[in-house]
């Protein structure tokens, strides 16, 4: 079984849209959003995947969500069938932290290959969890988003050196760092040098849940990217549809 987030109570967050971030930005994609996360970013825009009633980990909205309304379990074959029925030939598995459910994901992606062969599979991860051995060969691309200090997560949890080294050595892995302030660049530069992350696989993305905030931060962040040889990524889905589920 896979534990998924919901768009509305009882409806899994499986939908077709455009990839809004990173190296595949603008590509038609089918999204599967899983529930549960091992980190707690204070600016997280999908807190409904992890901050359930009774969870007191800090979040700037200070909202807690009813687990029953925001989480449900489906058989892997059911998830695969729903994905196969949607038009895009690219699957983006997101969360939460998807790699917490690696074994079940491997069964789902294997079932999808039977239902509809040849789909490109991307996984979005915070980079702290190693891919399950059965899942890893089935993945075409990892979008790795290590969490900087401004996320509120302690570095010993958010930035395990052995995992960052492994991702940096994997040519399928692209790094995306969320930037809230120009001063965040120093932390990114330190991680890039320490783990030998190639600049052409390193994206900087403005933190923001509204188009206005993204536009304001994109101005100075684009200059930082140009000056340092990094790639810039926007949050296309926020500009198109706002901070909403199922987009």
What local confidence, expressed as pLDDT, does residue 55 receive? 94
**pTM (whole model) above 0.95:** yes
Total count of domains within the chain: 1
Domain of 218, CATH number, reads: 3.20.20.70
pLDDT digits (tens, 9 = 90+) for 162-205: 999 999 999 999 999 999 999 999 999 999 999 999 999 999 99
Structural domain contains residue 226: yes
Mean per-residue pLDDT of the chain? 98
How far is it, in rounded angstroms, from Cα 210 to Cα 232?
18
DSSP 86-135: SS-SEEEEESS-GGGGHHHHHHHHHHHHHHSTT-EEEEEE-S-SPPPTTT
Structural domain contains residue 65: yes
Structural domain contains residue 237: yes
Structural domain contains residue 190: yes
Question: Which range of residues forms the domain containing residue 84?
Answer: 2-241
Structural domain contains residue 13: yes
């Amino acid at each position: 079984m896979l534990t998924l987030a919901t768009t509305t109570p009882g409806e899994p967050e499986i939908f077709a849209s455009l990839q809004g971030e990173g190296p595949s930005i603008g590509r038609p994609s089918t999204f599967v959003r899983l529930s549960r996360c091992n980190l707690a970013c204070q600016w997280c825009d999908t807190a409904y995947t992890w901050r359930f009633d009774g969870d007191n980990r800090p979040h700037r909205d200070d909202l807690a969500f009813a687990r029953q309304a925001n989480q449900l379990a489906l058989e892997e074959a059911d998830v695969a069938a729903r994905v196969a029925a949607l038009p895009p030939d690219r699957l983006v598995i997101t969360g939460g932290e998807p790699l917490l459910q690696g074994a079940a994901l491997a069964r789902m992606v294997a079932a999808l290959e039977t239902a509809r062969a040849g789909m490109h599979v991307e996984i979005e991860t915070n980079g702290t969890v190693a891919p399950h051995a059965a899942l890893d060969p089935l993945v075409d691309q990892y979008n790795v988003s290590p969490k900087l200090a401004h996320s509120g997560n302690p570095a010993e949890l958010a930035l395990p050196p052995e995992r960052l080294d492994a991702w940096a050595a994997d040519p399928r892995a692209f790094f995306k760092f969320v930037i809230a302030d120009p001063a965040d660049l120093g932390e990114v530069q330190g991680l890039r040098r320490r783990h030998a992350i190639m600049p052409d696989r390193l994206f900087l993305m403005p933190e923001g849940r509204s188009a206005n905030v993204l536009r304001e931060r994109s101005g100075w962040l684009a200059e930082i990217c140009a000056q340092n040889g990094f790639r810039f990524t926007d949050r296309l889905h926020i500009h198109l549809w706002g901070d909403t589920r199922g987009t």
